[in-house]
Structures are given as structure tokens and as C-alpha cells.
Amino acid sequence: MEIATKNRLGKMPFESELVRQFAEQVDQEGFVHLPITAVHAQLAGGFPQPHRDPWDRLLAAQGQLERLTLITCDEKLNGFGVKTLW
């Protein structure tokens, strides 16, 4: 959704093909789809940390619960208890 939204807003116009074929690209690159669960959503909505972007909050929740590393330069995510790289 993040990629599709940025593409729609003109912030990633060069990524149109990625938007159209996202699921296929994920599979082709050997990545695994990570569904959004109710547990992810509950943690994301309940984080006490101030961060206005609900998708970043969701990514932080998924990273924390699934023990994943987020690739981000957003320093606001440092206080969410999720490992980051960048």
C-alpha cells in the first residue's frame, strides 16, 4: 500500500511497473508475503510512542512481533523496540 500510495501521489513515478506487478516481483525476488494480522494492528495502534504515520507504526509492530529488521532511515522508529538498519 505504501508503494502504491507514493506512486499515486507522484512521489515514486518511476516505480509504476513495481506497483502493477508487486506480488509477482515479491515472489520473483524470493521474498515472503507477510500478512497484516489483528495482533499486528493491535500493537501498532497501542504503541505509546508518538508517530503520526499509521503504516510506520504497523511496520514497527510487524518487525517487533516477527523479529524482523526494518530497513529505514526514519529515526522516529528507533523507540519502538524493533531492530532497524540504515
β-strands 69-71, 83-85: how paired? parallel
- For all residues of the chain together, what is the average pLDDT? 89
From the DSSP assignment, how many helices (H) and strands (E) are in the chain?
Answer: 5, 2
Confidence class of residue 38 from pLDDT cuts 50, 70 and 90? Answer: very high
pLDDT at 52: 85
pLDDT at 68: 94
Give per-residue pLDDT as tens, 54-85: 999 999 999 999 999 998 888 888 889 899 99
Which of these, 28, 25, 24, 34, lies nearest to 69 by C-alpha position? 34
- In the block, cell 522516529 appears at 76
In angstroms, the Cα distances linking 65 to 5, 10, 12, 22 are: 25, 32, 29, 24
In the chain, where the domains are located: 1-33, 35-86
The number of residues in the chain equals 86
